[in-house]
Amino acid sequence: MQCTSQQIANVVLIRVEGRIDHTTAPDFGQALTAHLDGCSGEEHKLLLDCSGVDYMSSAGLRVLSTAAKRCRAQQGEMVLAALQPMIQEVFKISRFDKVFKIFPTVKAALEALSPSAAVAYDGI
């Protein structure tokens, strides 16, 4: 599991890659926590690009749930983009697809989150 981040206007884009299971979930949690501090209001939003995540167990869902609760408490916003089919299935079973705003692409997520970030982004 690997996370890399990029600031795009008022959005922090976090690219998550690899497996998120009971062994890698703690690292995933640490990587997310580093970005949660400032996640509040319009100034600092989080977008998780999950296109590189090919496996997620409930350990990963637990990390996302904890992060989402914290974001909510801070009036922050965290959204997800580009879920692979297996992750979509796990989200559907656990009804995480009702909890999170999920977009088909990073570009679509940025357009919904922040017009300035969407303009500044040069990917898809």
DSSP per-residue codes, 102-120: EESSHHHHHHHH-HHHHHH
Minimum CB separation of residue 60 from other proteins in Å reads 10
For other proteins, the closer CB: 29 or 118? 29
Place of tokens 């970030």: 117
**Rule CB under 8 A: which residues touch other proteins?**
21-23, 55, 57-59, 61-62, 65-66, 68-69, 72, 85-86, 89-90, 93-95, 98-99
**Helix (H) / strand (E) containing 61:** helix 58-73
For other proteins, the closer CB: 4 or 58? 58
Residues 13, 32 contacting (CB under 8 angstroms): no
For other proteins, the closer CB: 78 or 117? 78
